[in-house]
Amino acid sequence: MSDNTRMVAGNKEYPQGGGTEAFELLQHLGSGGFAHTFSARVLDADLIEEFQTDIVALKIPINKKKGIQLKKEITLNGAVYLQLKQLQGKNLVRCLGFESFRDQVVMVMEHVVGGSLRDKIGGIDHQKPLPYTDALEIIKGVLTGLQVIHEARVFHRDIKPENILMDGAIPKIADLGISRMLDSNELASTTSGTIPYMSPEILGAEGASFPSDIWSVGVTFYEMLTGRLPFGGGNTPIGTMVNLILTKCPASPSALDASIPRPINDVVLKALCKEPGGRFCSAAEMLATLENLKAAKTTQVKSDLASIRELLQSNEKLSVVEARMRDLVRQYPEEGEVYQLLGEFLNRCERFDDAIQTFKKGLRHVAENPMLRWDLALAYQKIGNPQAAVSNLEKALSLGLDPSLQRHARMLLKALRGS
């Protein structure tokens, strides 16, 4: 067989295509302790119909021993794997089934093309912190998927950035290969997972259950926010790292980055409580807490904006009002309304260039905000740039501009195109 008909993962060659095999390997996606993962084309028409796709991800055991283990697990725990296959949700990588390939059993998974969260944040000791707003949305998606898994009585055991695949902005939990079904009072005593993300109880003698997945979510959230692990790093000896996890409290995220809001800091630290009973009792509870923080923040933003509007109607110096507005932008960098208020103020002061920069900065944080596009178009009109004004008006309309402004926007578009 020629070299271009083979794929190599580790020391093992996997021939592609040919014969009556149901799959053709396309690309090696990664390797773990149990399996190599490849993207693959489905060649069997019946399987294409069953999977509703002709491109999948195959998890191929790394050696014969692992393959025998997988086959034995499927035989002994058929109900478990049927349950995994039936688990569905936008934040889960679907298990499509188990098939035969090259004389061994392989796991067939949904193929997600966006890479992993690890790709997004960088390797250990080389991580780049994400904006806390991005980290928050990702972890909420992870918790949504984990809620589905736990409600099906499945304990994942290995939540980490490598096992969170990114479908655009949507995180999907992958690799349920070491999961197992748990009764509500059952503890899994087998130590499995990845050391930096393992909970104290997994590393201890008492065994672990669903709260250990909450711990792993906490470690992942901490890493996204701070760009580092809470306990040690890539060069930390395993024994030292285990001791840190068992005995030491991590530096708080907000101590490492003052821009991280205190309520988010507190959520992370609660997820990393050494005692399982001190953590969130479920993924649903942690998710609800984060959603409530968002609702409380929205209420506070509206209150702060109202107080500044009152200042605008008073005799307060404009410099004082502007300073308050800029403080609000720094405090709520992801809220489109604060950029809108400051930009409109600058427009009224005929500081059009400053207004344009303000609206553009806002759009870097909230790109789909139609009102920022509308205001930016008006500012461009004021400085005599009809092309930029038209472009932003069209975008504002496509994003769903407020109905009260749509007629005005279309009339302005017509006038600008005719100018």
Active site members: 158
Residues whose CB falls within 8 Å of the CB of residue 82, separated by 6 or more in sequence, listed in order: none
How far is Cα 47 from Cα 335, in angstroms, rounded to an integer?
A: 46
Q: Which residues of 405-419 are buried (b: 16+ CB within 10 A; e: fewer)?
A: eeeebeebbeebeee
Chain mean position to CA 101: 32
Residues whose CB falls within 8 Å of the CB of residue 169, separated by 6 or more in sequence, listed in order: 137
**Cα distances (Å, whole numbers) of residue 33 to 10, 63, 127, 235:** 11, 10, 23, 20
Tokens of 240: 């030292």
Angle at 203 between CA 200 and CA 204, to 5 degrees: 80
Rg for the chain, CA atoms, rounded: 26
How far is Cα 381 from Cα 367, in angstroms, rounded to an integer?
A: 20
